[in-house]
Amino acid sequence: MAKKADLLAQAAELKLEVTEKNTIAEIEEALKNAGGEAKEEVKLAKAGKRSEKAIAEVQAKIEKEARKETGDTTPQEEGAEAVAKKGPKPITRPLIERRGKAYRKAAELVDKAKVYPLAEALELATKTNPSKFDASVEIHARLGVDPRQADQNIRATVSLPNGTGKTVRVAVFAPETEHAAAKKAGADIVGDEDFLKQLDKEVIDFDILVATPQFMPKLGKHARLLGPRGLMPNPKSGTVAVDVAKAVSEAKAGKVEYRVDKQAIVHLGIGKVSFGTAKLQENATTFFDSLKAQKPTSLKGAYIKSISIATSQGPSIKIENIA
């Protein structure tokens, strides 16, 4: 309870007719009727929840929550700049509108709802090439396999009758007795110990590496260099061969390797736009025959789910399922 002297001081401020003869209860009643409240002394602790610092923090938190509810973003610190409210969320344009003019013009020729026959799709692909250069024509086949299963991890090679249109640089790592035959077959790089010294320096200036079985162990320490680039010789791809000259001839003639990726899709370039529809169709048919021959025996569902054809920078064209 407040002291009588303090109550009398409050009464004097309000000009109430009370004196020392009045009791504390009477003075409090007079203050209450006059609209005033009897102020009590608040005793603050030195530390803890009742300390001056703790009470100030609680009060600041209450004020912050109140400002948050009303949406008041005015800075409370002196000299701080107010943060303007962000505008409306930007509208994302459709992907086709973000493409170049040449692509959009080419895409108008393709009916996305239609599934084209192979010959018609290849002819359309050559017409919808938006590039100024001689672009590659690519096939993308989505399979129903699980690449994580060893027997469904599709990987094979195919010799395209008309080649791919690319200049392939072939390197041969074989005994000296095979060097002459490899060079005659068209190998660009031939060597043994000298070739390993180039790999030690991480010099790679070839697209395909052919090696003999007895020389494969020597390439073991370079697996981290060659493997991620797809250059490590492999029996499945025909790059580990006893007949080096034959392997080089096939690589130069258009023998390519294809394999399914993590999304169960096979990607393969079957030639250039300049090949024309007839040559491209011949290459595509050869690839499809090879792909169908790789169907796993353990697969129960559909093997080939969908196929599309496109140039390097052109729109995708759906084709009839060969399966």
Q: What is the DSSP string of 176-214?
A: GGGHHHHHHHT-SEEESHHHHHHHHTT----SEEEE-GG
Using the Cα atoms of residue 194, residue 200, residue 201 and residue 207 in order, give the sign of their dihedral: positive
* CATH class, range 169-253: alpha beta
- The C-alpha atoms of residue 104 and residue 295 are separated, in whole angstroms, by 37
DSSP alpha helix (H) spans, 210-301: 223-226, 244-253, 277-293
pLDDT of residue 1: 45
Q: Give the span between the Cα atoms of 236 and 234, in whole angstroms.
A: 5
> What is the pTM assigned to this prediction?
0.62
Q: Which two tokens stand for residue 304?
A: 């080939």
CATH number (3.90.1300.10, 3.30.190.20, 3.30.470.20, 3.40.190.10) of 111-164+256-323 reads 3.30.190.20
Residue 85: predicted pLDDT: 64
Q: How far apart are CA 134 and CA 272, in angstroms?
A: 6
What is the spatial distance between Cα 110 and Cα 309, in angstroms, rounded to a whole number? 12
Q: Give the model's pLDDT for residue 78.
A: 67
Structure tokens that stand for 186 in this block: 């068209």
Instruction: Return the pLDDT at 42.
Output: 54
Q: What is the pLDDT of residue 23?
A: 77
CA nearest neighbour of 143 among 24, 252, 267: 267
Buried b (16+ CB within 10 A) or exposed e, 103-142: beebbeebeeeeebebeebbbbbbebbbeeeebbbbbebe
Q: What residue ranges do the domains of the chain occupy?
A: 4-70, 111-164+256-323, 169-253
Could you tell me if 280 and 137 are in contact, meaning their C-beta atoms sit under 8 angstroms apart? Answer: yes
Per-residue pLDDT of the chain (323 residues; tens, 9 = 90+): 446 777 777 777 777 777 777 777 777 777 777 765 544 555 677 777 778 888 788 888 888 888 777 777 676 776 666 666 677 878 888 877 788 888 888 888 888 889 999 999 999 998 888 888 888 999 999 999 998 988 888 988 888 888 888 888 899 988 888 898 989 988 888 988 888 888 888 888 888 899 999 988 888 888 888 888 888 888 877 888 888 888 888 888 878 888 999 999 999 999 999 998 999 999 999 999 999 999 998 888 899 999 999 998 889 999 988 76
Task: Give Rg (Cα) of the chain.
Answer: 41
Question: Quick one: pLDDT at residue 13?
Answer: 75
Which tokens go with 49? 């929840």
Distance of CA 260 to the CA centre of its chain: 18
Question: Which residues on neighbouring strands pair with residue 262, listed in sequence order?
Answer: none
- Which one, of 131, 103, 132, lies nearest residue 316 by Cα? 103
